[in-house]
């Protein structure tokens, strides 16, 4: 069995990791580290796990686990690794943005591979250190990678994407409490969102001359989980050609599927799937891309990466049911 450790165990992404790993046939949770909850039962925080898991949070770390998931706030993974040294055989998957960009990918002599399986599965399979992609970045990249592969990103790209409240993390803030979020909608970090860097770098891996603007408007939605992204850009080909490009690119993808029917968010919530739909209007191609921000956008993709690193079936532990109704 693969022994797994989780750092930062009280947050949303850690909770999802725990829920998935307890049903993974090849994994045993060795410890869940939380300084604020050490000694408390995990089900005291992740309350749906009552009767399912009797493990307690701990303030102690096993530095010899097979895989370590870092579920810390942005900037805190580096700080944690400065203070704790793990075995050379321990594979590390970081869910923050500390190591996603090329300039940050080497840390303490270790190279972090950007963990988007649809982009670089072979590198992930050989990696010991993974920088798990951001949730918006995953949704948007999966909507654009086939066009980059065909060198067709030759004009500005416009993106409007809405995320659920869990995307802001478990800590309370003015824009996450119920009375503010309910029946409300707002824009934040227009044109400057931190995921733009990793999106541009990934597109550049497939289209070396990519230098176009990504005009990204992120929105806060009044729902708890999921991301709905609408992406549009100039496209000279037919809708049939567009579908051919996308279907060919994702022919072997386990979780990313192309639909000729319009898609909606509930199709993917509580799954590790990304669904994509295309429409053509005059010379403009509209790409709709939807994921669950906590699964394909975070914990599910982390487990998908772990499966690849340990030469397991990508879908192991990720055969989930959508909350369609």
In three-state secondary structure terms, 113 is strand
- Report in angstroms the alpha-carbon separations of 255 from 114, 230, 300: 18, 19, 10
- The token duo for 256 is 């990313």
Q: What are phi and psi of 168, to 5 degrees?
A: -90, 0
- The token duo for 43 is 């089900």
Starting at the edge strand found earlier in the chain, the sheet holding 129-131 runs 27-33, 2-7, 67-70, 91-94, 129-131, 113-114
The answer to whether residues 278 and 246 touch, using CB atoms and an 8 Å cutoff, is yes
Please state, in angstroms and rounded to a whole number, the distance separating the CA atoms of residues 31 and 294.
21
Please state, in angstroms and rounded to a whole number, the distance separating the CA atoms of residues 84 and 71.
15
- Interhelix angle for 196-206 vs 135-149, to 10°? 20
DSSP 133: P
- For residue 197, the number of C-alpha atoms closer than 13 Å in the C-beta half-sphere is 10
- Point out the residues that are catalytic: 135
Residue corresponding to tokens 């654009």: 144
Please state, in angstroms and rounded to a whole number, the distance separating the CA atoms of residues 40 and 261.
47
Please state, in angstroms and rounded to a whole number, the distance separating the CA atoms of residues 59 and 82.
17
């Amino acid at each position: 069995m693969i022994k797994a450790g989780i750092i930062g165990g009280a947050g949303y992404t850690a909770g999802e990791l725990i829920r998935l790993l307890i049903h993974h046939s090849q994994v045993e949770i060795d410890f869940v580290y939380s300084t604020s909850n050490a000694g408390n039962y995990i089900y005291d925080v992740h309350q749906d796990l009552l009767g399912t898991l009797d493990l307690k949070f701990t303030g102690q770390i096993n530095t010899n686990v097979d895989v370590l998931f870092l579920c810390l706030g942005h900037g805190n993974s580096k700080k944690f690794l400065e203070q704790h040294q793990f075995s050379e055989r321990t594979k590390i998957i970081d869910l923050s943005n500390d190591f996603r960009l090329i300039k940050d990918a080497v840390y303490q002599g270790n190279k972090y591979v950007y963990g988007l399986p649809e982009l670089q599965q072979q590198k992930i399979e050989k990696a010991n250190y993974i920088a798990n992609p951001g949730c918006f970045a995953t949704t948007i990249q999966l909507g654009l990678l086939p066009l980059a592969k065909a060198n067709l990103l030759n004009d500005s790209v416009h993106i409007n994407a809405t995320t659920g409240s869990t995307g802001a993390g478990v800590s309370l803030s003015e824009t996450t409490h119920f009375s503010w979020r309910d029946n409300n909608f707002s824009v934040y970090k227009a044109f400057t969102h931190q995921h733009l860097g990793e999106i541009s770098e990934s597109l550049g891996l497939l289209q070396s001359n990519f230098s176009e603007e990504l005009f990204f408007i992120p929105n806060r939605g009044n729902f708890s989980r999921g991301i709905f992204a609408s992406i549009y850009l100039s496209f000279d080909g037919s809708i049939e050609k567009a579908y051919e490009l996308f279907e060919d690119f994702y022919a072997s993808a386990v979780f990313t599927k192309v639909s000729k029917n319009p898609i909606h968010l509930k199709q993917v919530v509580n799954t590790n799937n990304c669904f994509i739909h295309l429409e053509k209007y005059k010379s403009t191609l509209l790409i709709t891309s939807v994921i669950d921000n906590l699964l394909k956008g975070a914990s599910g993709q982390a487990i998908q990466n772990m499966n690849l690193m340990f030469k397991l079936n990508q879908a192991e532990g990720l055969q989930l049911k959508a909350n369609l109704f």
